[in-house]
Structure 1
Amino acid sequence: MSSNTEMQDENETGSGWWWWPSWRPTSTSLLKSTEARILSCVKNDLWARFVTLPTQDKIWTVTVTNRHSRKPEKNTTQTPLVMVHGFGGGVGLWVRNLDPLCVSRPVFAFDLLGFGRSSRPHFPSDPAQAEDQSVHSIEQWRQAVGVEHMILLGHSLGGYLATSYAIQYPERVSHLILVDPWGFPERPQAGSEVSGGQGSEVVKRPPPPTWVKALASFVSLFNPLAVIRAAGPLGPSLVNRFRPDFRRKFEDLFEDDTMTQYIYHCNSQNPSGEVGFRAMSESLGWAKRPMLQRVEQLPPSLPVTLVYGGRSWVDSSTGGRVEQLRPQGHTQTMVIDDASHHVYADQSDVFNRVVQNICDTVD
């Protein structure tokens, strides 16, 4: 890997909470070193740096370009692919995708404001304002790195924010790729009829038991990942216990717990984007401002592809709803078999081919 990485940790957190790091086994330096182990797997040219916004917030950014391109200038003139991670994630989770997808164009990946190694500013409690703060930071990031047009790919929460960005700045997006996007459907009312998926019978599902609703109400009083921080020195083992899938998804790259350590360090820092997500979401994970209510605002000329995992908890039938709401627009839904919510890691070869084919339609 050829890399050029700024050494300073610009987003030191925990100001006013100096005693937390001694009890919680994390720091920005540990996050940095764990991420470095992950990104060392990238074989092409990688440039990692902080991009400073007009607000003085900093967005941690990774750019990967094909080091074997016969015509390097052609690679840099192709429309870049910009990848936006989901809730609790960071650039390291794209390690299976960066090399294959940079073959014909530069690939940008960044930590959303409030996540990973990016700055962790205050987010408002109003859902629209919290969403706008994230979206505007993406636009300020785009201006700072000098990208005129992009193929914009977002996973989960990243898909929600990428769609909001494309609604506000459609002239900057050549193709919108939504991977298992969060926050699209409206929250079903208790006792309402909901579909089990495309082509399935409409079934009336009973409301959750009282204890489940009580537990959800209790959890809603706190930030979603507060338990990881509250666990103190038990935090890393807690992540290993409840998210062993992250280790399995990358076990051919890392024999140890590098990936679960990365998830832990990303989410045991001072909460920020997590606060913004809580503002945008209802209990049980629904968006307060469902994107299906606004997806018609995407211009018909903007192609949209929705990619779902066949075993994901996200209902792929939402893709059909998007197609119906955009009758004049080019909208396509694809389901990748044997993939869960983290499609890009579960079936990375298939995912990379799908995304590469989409990129080839742009230029």
Structure 2
Amino acid sequence: MHSAAQSRAHGRRVAPPSGRERAALLAGHLCCHSGIRRRDTGPPTGRVAATRPGAGVTRPGLLPSRGHREAATPAPGPPAGTGRARALGAAAPRDGRPRGDDAGGGRAGGRENEREEPVMAGAAAVALSLAALPATATAPLLSAPGRRAAAMAEEEPASEGLGWLFSWLPAWCPTSLLHLKEAEDKMLKCIANIYNKRYVFISNGNKIWTLTFSPDLSNKTPLVLLHGFGGGVGLWALNFEDLCENRTVHAFDLLGFGRSSRPHFDTDAREAENQFVESIEEWRKEVGLEKMILLGHNLGGFLAAAYSLKYPSRVKHLILVEPWGFPERPDNAEHERPIPIWIKALGAILSPFNPLAGLRIAGPFGLSLVQRLRPDFKRKYSSMFDDNTVAEYIYHCNVQSPSGETAFKNMTIPYGWAKRPMLQRISQMDQDIPITVVYGARSCIDGNSGSTIQSLRPNSYVKTIAILGAGHYVYADQPEDFNQKVKDICDSVD
């Protein structure tokens, strides 16, 4: 079959498929690979199914009734490892028993893993159905200022032969920046504290979505929270009120994630990491922080350490919560824990795609996919929500145009190990920066990184804390214990 480019070369004009034909094509892919009956599918509706009445539904354009005020930012001027260490997604629990969480947010843990493996395989098959699409990991993202103002600000690049498909995919996923805003508002509606929320503008026209709690408590060093891969500021909902009791707390969506700008990142791992670090530094300057206590979870922990390496004078204490990317992949990793052939084959086929591409390809079925693969998130936040608020937030965070996700992919090697492991560089960090490493006692991330950091920094303060009963998402699994530990660390600074 001729592509559009070939048809033009022969002097013929080929009209793109109609909306009904497009829906049939992609729905057919989903039906074949996910086991969903054809009669249950239909063209995308453009909206997520509403939650049940009375369960904290936020209507479009309606702000939460309490707990925050809008704050505007003035327009800026011209753009200015040990051998047995385990990696994200490639580890077993330390005591050999099934656990309730897995590293990096990729799978539900323990017995749920056994039950949901077929579901995960089905989700992977969805991505396989579009294996002919060009990889998004190395193609630049095209910004679209002024277009789709209520929807995504940036689109994925179009291919010559499949441009119509790429242009239609956003409609296939019932999401937009407005959907993400509403989902975040629902996540934060239970917070009684007054807080500011605003965009902080940095170079190249980019902006960082920022929440600030207790902004008037300037007598103590502020705490800055960096979320992990695929997350956003809303996931700290269980922590804000406790942590801001006696000091200012800032939380922002990392560049390329959440509601922050989603620019093109360099394909080189070193350069991509530097783009993240520079965005944090530009944010710090714009907010006007002289020094800060920097806390990062997962990818945020890796970037917090990278920032501290480059700008040590700005960090009074570094808190690494279940950090990703510290140990290097051991040469005998596959011998210690053999990886099934089918997983290797699937990984090779899916390697050109971003980690969460299957979620976007699933379109309107993506939200139910999140709910089925990660039912544990509903339990973690059950004290705040009794519906699918958290799943909706995670879904809308990760079906926008991939940007930070693409950068993360370019910073990894197979099975989630970092291309530039932080343990190879941590000894170069300023010896005066104290480090606290926080792990969940039930996590699949190996806590040996904490002791390794201590051995590499014998003349510096390094402490490892294990939170009992917590998995990888320590701050959500045991929020009270986590909040108290972090407050104790912060009080030791001032």
TM-score normalised by length of structure 1: 0.91
Q: Which residue of structure 1 aligns with residue 218 of structure 2?
A: 76
Find the structure with the greater CA-based Rg: 2
SS in 1 for 2:466: strand
Going from structure 1 to structure 2, the CA distance change for 1:185 and 1:320 (only over 3 Å counts) comes to same
Matches for 1:162-181 after TM superposition, within 5 Å: 162-181=304-323
Q: CA deviation at 1:40?
A: 1.7
Query: Which of 264, 273, 285 in structure 1 is aligned with 2:404?
Result: 273
- Percentage of identical aligned residues: 52
For residue 57 of structure 1, what is the amino acid of its counterpart?
Answer: N
Deviations 1:308-360 (A, max 9, x none): 01111110111110110000000000111111100000000000000000000
- The equivalent of 2:211 in structure 1 is 62
- Kept in 1, the 8 Å contact 2:378–2:388? The answer is yes
The CA distance in 2 between the partners of 1:56 and 1:260, in whole Å, is 30
- 1:10 CA displacement: 9.8
Count of aligned pairs between the two proteins: 345
Q: Compared with structure 1, are the counterparts of its residues 191 and 349 closer, same or farther at alpha carbon in structure 2 (3 Å cutoff)?
A: closer
Determine which of 279, 296, 300 is the counterpart of 2:431.
Answer: 300
| Secondary structure, aligned partner of 1:19 | helix
Residues of 1 paired with 2:333 and 2:430: CA distance?
A: 35
- Which residue number in structure 1 is paired with residue 414 of structure 2? 283
Instruction: Name the CA shift for 1:302/1:191 in 2 (closer, same or farther; >3 Å).
Output: closer
The DSSP-based 3-state class of the residue aligned with 2:418 is: coil
Q: Any stretches of 5+ residues in structure 2 without a counterpart? A: 1-66, 74-148, 158-165
Q: TM-score, normalised on structure 2?
A: 0.68
Asked if the contact 1:11–1:118 (Cα under 8 Å) also holds between the matched residues in 2, the reply is: no
Q: Which residue, 171, 175, 178 being the options, matches 1:29?
A: 178
Moved more, 35-44 or 253-262: 35-44
1:197 corresponding residue in structure 2 = none
Q: Structure 1 residue 224: deviation in Å?
A: 0.2
**What per-residue deviation string (whole Å, max 9, x for no partner) do you get for residues 153-197 of structure 1?**
0000000000000000000000000000000001011368xxxxx
Return 5+ residue gaps in structure 1 as ranges.
67-71, 193-203
Aligned amino acid, residue 352 of structure 2: L
Q: Which residue of 2 aligns with 1:341?
A: 472
**Equivalent residue for 1:45, pick from 177, 188, 194:** 194
Secondary structure at 1:255 match in 2: coil
Contact 1:49 1:61 in 2 (8 A): yes
1:86 to 2:228 alignment:
yes
User: Equivalent residue for 2:38?
Assistant: none
1:213 positional shift: 2.0
Residue aligning to 1:188: 330
Taking the aligned partners of 1:337 and 1:33, their CA distance within structure 2 comes to 34
Give the stretch that moved more between structures: 14-23 or 174-183.
14-23
Query: Larger relative contact order (C-alpha < 8 A, sep ≥ 6)?
Result: 2
Per the alignment, in what secondary structure is the counterpart of residue 76 of structure 1?
A: coil
Displacement after TM superposition at 1:21 (Å): 3.2
Contact 2:151 2:175 in 1 (8 A): no
Question: What secondary structure, in the 3-state scheme, does the structure 2 residue paired with 1:183 have?
Answer: coil
Counterpart code for 2:368: S
- Match status 1:20 vs 2:169: yes
In structure 1, C-alpha distance between the alignment counterparts of 2:441 and 2:347, rounded to whole Å: 27
Give the whole-Å Cα distance in 1 for the aligned partners of 2:468 and 2:285.
37
Contact 2:426 2:453 in 1 (8 A): yes
Mark the CA change 1:295 to 1:30 in structure 2 (over 3 Å): closer, same or farther: same
Of the three residues 338, 354, 359, the one matched with 1:223 is: 354
